[in-house]
Homo-oligomer: A and B are copies of this chain.
Amino acid sequence: MGLGAVMMGLADPPANYGSISAVGLFVALMCVCIIVGHLLEENRWMNESITALFIGLGTGAVILMASSGKHSRVLVFSEDLFFIYLLPPIIFNAGFQVKKKQFFRNFMTITLFGAVGTLISFTVISLGALGLVSKLNIGELELGDYLALGAIFSATDSVCTLQVLNQDDTPFLYSLVFGEGVVNDATSVVLFNAIQSFSTGSFSGVNLLKFGGSFLYLFCTSTFLGVASGLISAYVIKKLYFGRHSTDREVAIMMLMAYLSYMIAELLDLSGILTVFFCGIVMSHYTWHNVTESSRVTTKHAFATLSFMAETFLFLYVGMDALDIEKWKIVRETPIKSIALSSTILALVLVSRAAFVFPLSLLSNWSKKTPMGKISFKQQVIIWWAGLMRGAVSIALAYNKFARSGHTQLPSNAIMITGTISVVLFSTIVFGILTKPLIRLLNPPRYLSREQSALSEPSSPKTFLERLIENGPDADLENGVSLRRPSSLRLLLASPTRSVHYYWRKFDNSFMRPVFGGRGFVPFVPGSPTESSVPLLSTTEDN
């Protein structure tokens, strides 16, 4: 099922008319979402995702009534549409805009949460499902189904998290939760694929080792592919210097190379999510500095816009798909079972996340020598809470597992699909609405601390100029360790981790930047108004 097949939900001939009206409806709804989202911007409960979800649900309900209860969807949920067209721009943009210093500073913790945490979560949910769901007497479920449930509900919704936490207000929490989300997406997709390919009977120690090995292999090769394609794009753009003739070519080749890295990763059965994420990071570190001034502004905002539109589309789409009447027919016959299933899964989600956030935080705190990198209990609660949302990845995986041969045929499959949708809707709406107030309660906005961090962050033009004068093009990696502390303490406290950064910087400056470009190694652009652009680009410089 591809985009087009999907766009033809009302697929009577002439198909043309049906697809135009479906696409038109979605475009119109996206406009509405943007306007409503803008008006509710200051609202303390809502966020863009929930708005889109509600509008999707509302439209679904209207179509349901208009078609007198026959169908509610203009589109059928399609894995292809999700994994090929919607997810790549969202994850790429996340990598492109992520604050690299924060991300790399917390890299170990993020990997710990994202990889080990997801495995713990997967184990808890799988065992819980094996113990509890099997008692609900839903139908013939195999061991593989329970394990799949574990993988499906270990996948947090990083898209929703992005909108709930603020990168500027809570940079530390944001980088932890969001970084974890990306690694978690990748981990759960890898887990899910591994479960699908293993024959369910043979879970032995050897297979577990094999599984661990293939996971490590996937993680490394995916990362390598992403880094390599980012570097190739930097090299090609630096060598050929497209900007000489056309800005459009630069922007186009950045987009296409990033997308190509995702496609190649998927074709090689690697994790496209991880690949495109690291491609985004490398592109923002090297490629972005090799293009012309206007390409920089354009890519920064165009990638963010594409990602924003993909997110809005996604939540609309999930909302509209949720009300599809076909799926709910079987549930009407066994309402108690369905409610029991959804509640059980929700409880397991809550427990499984607690089961790794608090122990792993302790572990992470224990390994830190200084008090600054430690995760306070309040922050642990926020991390636990912010990762409770389940989203489109869960739905896509559930469809893949339970709807392969038409979801209405087996009652157990239909209940699993509706259960997944219920959990996704409930967690996104209820947990999502409560997140903003919770964060405000546990972590009240301290304007003082924000100002302090602004001083040590290179986001103000002055600091940026200062750094230029200091001739430290990679100052962001160096001073990354010292956020929220006055600059004078920087050198003192940065010393434990300094050596790694020091060697990386040395390597970056002597080998990487001369070849691949990057800040301070940009070719001379005749007529490029680099000086006048500092205020315009000041917000991008700290990424």
Contact = CB atoms under 8 A, between A and B. Distances in A.
A301 B309 contact: no
A27 B272 CA distance: 15
B293 A298 contact: no
A156 interface: no
A352 interface: no
Interface string A233-272: 0001000101001111101110111011001101100000
Contacts of A1: 4, 15
A434 to B, nearest CB: 22
Nearest to A304: B248
Contact of A34 (B19, B21, B83, B249): B249
Interface in A295-352: 295, 297-298, 300-302, 304-305, 308-309, 312
Contact of A301 (B3, B35, B259, B298): B298
Contacts of A255: 305, 309
A536 interface: yes
Contacts of A30: 252, 256
Contacts of A19: 2, 80, 84
A80 B252 contact: no
A257 B31 contact: yes
A394 B20 CA distance: 21
A451 interface: no
Interface string A91-110: 00000000000000000000
A37 B264 CA distance: 23
Interface stretch (A5-13, A65-73, A200-208, A353-361): A5-13
**Copies of this chain, whole number:** 2
A431 to B, nearest CB: 24
Contacts of A111: none
A412 interface: no
Contact of A263 (B20, B252, B264): B20
Contacts of A529: 532, 535-536
Contacts of A37: 249
Q: Report whether over half of chain A's contact residues are helix, strand or loop; otherwise say mixed.
A: helix
A19 B267 CA distance: 10
6 contacts: A23-B84, A24-B267, A38-B245, A249-B308, A295-B301, A527-B535
Interface residues of A, number: 71
A466 interface: no
| List of 5 A-B pairs having minimum Cβ-Cβ separation, nearest first | A2-B4, A24-B263, A4-B4, A532-B532, A3-B4
A81 interface: yes
A6 B4 CA distance: 7
A23 B260 CA distance: 9
A294 B242 contact: no
Contacts of A17: 267
A256 B31 contact: yes
A533 interface: yes
A41 interface: yes
Given A4-B7, A4-B80, A240-B39, A267 B20 contact: yes
Contacts of A246: 38, 308
A103 to B, nearest CB: 21
Contacts of A497: none
Interface in A367-397: none
A214 interface: no
Contacts of A185: none
Interface in A275-308: 293-295, 297-298, 300-302, 304-305, 308
